[in-house]
Chains A and B, each alone.
Chain A
Amino acid sequence: MKFRFRRQGNDPQREKIKQDLFAFNKTVEHGFPNQPSALAYDPKLQLMAIGTKSGAIKVYGSPGVEFTGLHKDTATVTQMHFLHGQGRILSLLDDNTLHLWEIGQREQCSSLEEVCSFTIPCRTAVCASYFSPYSATRVTVLLPKLNCDLLAVGTEGGGVHFLELPSLTLLDKSLFQDEIMQRWEALFVFSLGPVESLQEHPQHPDKILIGYSRGLVVLWDLQTRHVDNLFLGKQQLESLVWERSGNSFVSSHSDGGYMVWSVSSSTPCTNEPVSSTITYGPFPCKAVNKILWRTAESGAPLVLFSGGMPRASYGDRHCLTILQDSQHVTLDFTSRVIDFFTVHCTDAHKFDDPSALVVLLEEELVVIDLQTAGWPTIPAPYLAPLHSSAITCSYHISNVPTKLWERVVSAGQQQGSLQTHTNWPICGGKNLAPDPKQQELMLTGHEDGTVRFWDASGVSLRPLYKLSTANIFQTDCDHNDSLTQAGEEEWPPFRKVGCFDPYSDDPRLGIQKICLCKYSGKLVVAGTAGQVIVLYLSDEKSDHMIDVATVDLLQDREGFTWKGHDRLPPKSGSVVFAPGFQPVVLVQCMPPAAVTAVTLHAEWNLIAFGTSHGFGLFDYHRRSPVLARCTLHPNDSLAMEGPLSRVKSLKKSLRQSFRRIRKSRVSGKKRVQEANAHLAEQDAEVTPVQRRIEPRSADDSLSGVVRCLCFADTFLRDGTHHGPTMWAGTNSGSVYAYALDVPSQEKFSEQSVEALLGKEIQLMHRAPVVSIAVLDGRGNPLPEPYEVSRDLAKAPDMQGSHSVLIASEEQFKVFMLPKVSAKTKFKLTAHEGCRVRKVALVNFSSVASEDYSENGLVCLTNLGDIHVFSIPALRPQVRYDCIRKEDISGIASCVFTKTGQGFYLISPSEYERFSLSARVITEPLCQVRHSERGSGLDGTKITGSSVKNSR
């Protein structure tokens, strides 16, 4: 009621200010699309499109040019084709519908809009081969003619239908198998099988090559409705490709081979191919799913095909073979090949001269430079496989100083090997976005112990540098290198390509928390086995020992035995470190439970870290522990289990398998889906879900988990002397505040840091403390370390009384310091029924005026909505729905930037970027120029319907 009261009397002036400060936009998706299913390329516009299983189409051009369209139905995009040069995309979904999309331009934004859709009508009369086991109308292949007026559609029934483009109207000139079989008495088969491939003759637009599954290939003349040539292939057909001249074509087959056929008007019926090769024979091989044949001015043609591996020995590999003369490389990927294309000359040239090969894999995009010897990979400026190892945490740094930025970039450049710096081959469209005003770093921690640094300043998330922490521990994975060395000599000539590696050598290496000081280049990385590593950025190679310290967080607490994993054994000798972040100290918490909170104050040379058992303070300059405090509640038994305990993992795996079952059901047909939904409903009604209403109690499990830590220079002991303090908050609503005695800069080495417990606060509602922040006398957050001493930020008000903002899962409270008397509060859960998941203090600047800005408390709740509150008054300002409440991993992964943007994972491999600020928005602004479109759709063009991915 108080709440409602407060909201009354909306001040119009305040509303205007709020409009200038806050605006919610989902701006761009970073990373690699989840479950890609189709690939298309327009050589004229130089745009690439990726379709996904969720029905999204994402178009990419030169870096910064990207936009998305989403089908109304969540169905897999099975095929996509650009109508070359027109800015139109045809998509085929697995529900057998065809959709035509147009690239539209609204102000500075390109967008993708669906124009029309089409389903082949199921007329029984059309089903010519009724004895066929295939659905007559199920579309197998599409071929939009190069002049974009006609679309040929091959079906499972073996018929080829023709649609007018761009209206998608069925023309009455379908071609059925009977027609072919009647004309050629030589064909005595019952059915030719589904249409497997349709290829337009490169020289004669009226002729198309039709390949049927059973092996027959015909050259069909659209004008005369006549079969020009007939090729009697005997192997099951997989794909066809023309040679540029049109004098020959290549077919690939299910036995792992490919055949070259010559086309001549003199022999209308060819029985034998010019050549037939099974590259990886003679033992049975898997099918060659797709083959490309590209001529080169320099000599022999390039043959590129996917699959075809010897079934017994390498049947499980995901491979793509590049053959040219004697050169032979088998690209060995870690995930399935979805599709691939080459970037090559399409105009009046005599040769294809492919410059690049673009391979879409299930988990990443790999681009190979075909013009440089050795076919190196080209690093992609976007579509970064964020999930090359599962992301375990994310950390964002706004406004990175140029000095640090350059050093990180140069460290990253020294890491790259077997990569060329050829220009990115897909460079359509024009990026209109202004250069980012400031550099932003995104750090992702991964399960394999790596920390990846990404350039998050703009629309495309670019990898900068990769830090691995595994090399300072003794793990089982060390012999891996020797294995790959031995592989050099083997046949086929495998080459590992791509970086997606879902297998973690040791789950204990996983990164849990990251903290970086952007001014000093100090980095703290904390992991699953209680390891806290302090690193500093060095431009030189180094070979040194790492200091190891162990901090006992149990503090002689009796009756506890750790049943979880062991700590990671550090390497004993000296270790070689490449330029970049190099470890200084390794602190290992005992028991080695996962680190749940970490913070760094580089000016004081202190790190603080917490686990489910307690927290510690460590002086990394003197390499000495300052403080360890146990936060365990005596009744807490779960705290000793550890995250990898058997009980939990069994529970988890069961849950996962159930989820998998559910998922597989959903992907089935719609009717099944509905039936299941109905069933689920009934189930829910039979056993209603109950919730127990019980307040949190002190002996709830895992109450000792340290949730947040913070350093602040403030008033803890009395109102006249401020000094360094450290704050820790736990899962049970306890806050511990320590006054620190930090020696001055010169005396760091002689004098040790002292910590004195100043205050202990027990929040009555006992909800987990999510965040603690100290506000200065003006109610502004305290600046970061070094910002004051280096004149980088306005000095905080040290005259007025400071206050501490404690955000728990249920409410926000501001307490005055040093008395810790409650000043303001907001009970979010009591009012809204939602719980606080993530909070951040954010500076919102106004669009109306350069220098007007307000600090706000941004809060993401378990319902996935975002609230903004004023500080220190804690008045609600705005509320936006952001993430689906079922998307737990999305909510858990959300990070906010200091200027009002945020990121969360929409899939294991993609961040959604959003903006809460009306001023600071990072969105793709781009332009695609396409040729005039045909007039087929005058007046019927659907515009204005914004197609946005609303996940």
Chain B
Amino acid sequence: MNRSFNKSQPLRPLELDAVEVKSKYGAEFRRFSVNRVKPGKFEEFFKLIMHIHRIANMEVMIGYADVHGDLLPINNDENFSKAVSTAHPLLRIFIQRQEEVDYSNFGTNTLTRKKKAVVPLRNDLNRKRPHIRIGMPQDFRPVSSIIDVDILPESHRRVRLYRHGSDKPLGFYIRDGTSVRVTPHGLEKVPGIFISRMVPGGLAESTGLLAVNDEVLEVNGIEVSGKTLDQVTDMMIANSHNLIVTVKPVNQRNNVVRSSRISGSSGQSSDSSGSGSFPAITHSPSTATVSHSYAHDDLDSDEESDIVIESSVSRPSRRSNTSHVHLQTSSATPSPPSPPTRPQSRPPSVISTASFHSQPSLNGTAHNSLSYRLHRDLNLQQPHYHSTSTRESNGSLHKILSSLRTDPRNSLALPPGGVEEDGMVITL
């Protein structure tokens, strides 16, 4: 470790664009500097820290104090370069041992992903922090997202729930009901499927994107009208690894307002081959959502790969229960194998802090491929706008937030042929 660091780390502490670093581990301080323009890779920085503090082989977490005095984590290239670039003038680093990390101060549990089982992240309910905290892309597993905002009526919401690798139950129930639709002949009562119950702590509830009495309109692109409750149940279960439900939310006040002006001003429609993708936001700090996914997860998340265990040892298996096996996934998808048989390869790091982030660089292609697939039959080629904000520009974040702001006028508008909207479902 140290050797490799020594070879590669281009430390030039005396240059002008150097950033002074003050690193604190327990009561010990170390001072050194990094290049502000080319801070290098996080991995190298991490090794440097470990080296300097002589704490190799310890599980530690690195944080820094940002300009606002908040403690933020450093655990990848991006936030490392962010930390270096915003250091003013001193970059104050805090090193904490993994087991001592105070999560209430610290945004997230960064390095646990590959190493440790989850520690409840939300023991800070009493100590409310007023602002949105931002987590790191890699640390999060996507749990849900709002997709296809640009092609759906504003009163509808298409929610994608990612259950891959999660131990959380999907956690909702559906029921039969009656909804009122506007037709050329006036109002018409039609049977519909509604969300009837949320399991507390379930995935569906924790996303905040689905609510009791939301009407289910589509399941993975297939309309549910004319289908029985049992059919819709079976469809949802069959798609449960990657469930996309289109609902008409009973509460229409949090609708996404579509506006292509935002898209234009962001100037990021260059690679628009599909449709926009909106991360979920929350209306209360306690329910939280995190959106987006890893590119590789997304590429083929529609494709579940079955696990094939091949017996490498040819031996009579009268007692084959214990025969030696090695695991291999059958298809080309690198997604993790099924939970029960695989070793604990990925701890179910459940993300539920009230955080929001967007990460275009990672999710762009992935989402496009998905939404492309979803909508090529609609043949939509309208320029989509993209959540292109990067961490460098706080402005773009605000843009997205503003685009997600409620517009009461819009939510009350009746899309032609759509569902009659008065915010409540009529159930007889």
Q: Which residues of A contact B (CB under 8 A)?
A: 1-2, 4-5, 555, 627-630, 684-685, 688-696, 698, 717, 738, 754-765, 767, 810-811, 813, 815, 819-822, 827, 829-835, 862-863
Contacts and interface: CB of A to CB of B under 8 A. Distances in A.
Which 9 A-B residue pairings sit nearest by Cβ, starting from the closest? A833-B231, A695-B240, A829-B238, A764-B304, A760-B309, A691-B233, A833-B235, A830-B238, A698-B340
Given A761-B306, A764-B338, A822 B174 contact: no
Contacts of B174: 690-691, 693
Given A5-B377, A764-B304, A820-B308, A696 B316 contact: no
Contacts of A689: 175-176, 229
A685 B175 contact: no
Given A762-B307, A765-B241, A755 B231 contact: no
B221 A1 contact: yes
Nearest to B245: A693
Given A755-B316, A759-B311, A695 B321 contact: no
Contact of A555 (B309, B314, B321, B341): B321
Contacts of A694: 169-171, 237, 240
A50 to B, nearest CB: 36
A886 to B, nearest CB: 11
Interface string B141-184: 00000000000000000000001000001111111110000000
A555 B319 contact: yes
B90 to A, nearest CB: 50
B99 interface: no
A4 B231 contact: no
Given A693-B237, A833-B234, 17 more contacts: A688-B175, A688-B196, A688-B427, A691-B229, A756-B314, A756-B316, A759-B310, A760-B310, A760-B311, A762-B309, A764-B307, A765-B241, A810-B238, A829-B235, A830-B238, A833-B219, A833-B224
Interface stretch (B5-13, B108-116, B323-331, B395-403): B323-331
A758 B311 CA distance: 5
Contacts of A834: 231, 234
Interface in B313-354: 314-321, 323, 325, 330-331, 338-341
A846 B409 CA distance: 61
B82 interface: no
A830 B239 contact: yes
Interface of B: 163, 169-177, 196-197, 204, 219-222, 224, 227-241, 243, 304-311, 314-321, 323, 325, 330-331, 338-341, 373-374, 376-377, 427-428
B321 A688 contact: no
B172 A688 contact: no
14 contacts: A4-B377, A629-B317, A685-B427, A688-B177, A690-B173, A690-B197, A693-B170, A694-B240, A695-B240, A696-B237, A761-B306, A764-B306, A810-B234, A822-B305
Nearest to B176: A688
Contacts of B171: 694
Given A693-B170, A756-B311, A764-B241, A830 B220 contact: yes
B341 A762 contact: yes
Contacts of B228: 833
A629 B308 CA distance: 18
A350 to B, nearest CB: 67
A785 B315 CA distance: 27
B377 A1 contact: yes
A690 B238 contact: no
A811 B238 CA distance: 9
A823 to B, nearest CB: 10
Contact of B238 (A627, A698, A761, A827): A827
Contacts of B314: 717, 756
A862 B231 CA distance: 9
Contacts of A630: 321
A467 B331 CA distance: 48
A117 B233 CA distance: 46
A757 B323 contact: yes
Contacts of B315: 756
Contacts of A757: 311, 317, 320, 323
A692 B175 contact: no
A555 to B, nearest CB: 6
A817 to B, nearest CB: 11
A690 B230 CA distance: 10
A555 B341 CA distance: 20
Contacts of B243: 693
Contacts of A827: 238
A839 to B, nearest CB: 16
Of A758, A764, A811, A821, most B-chain CB atoms within 10 Å: A764
Contacts of B231: 832-834, 863
A714 to B, nearest CB: 16
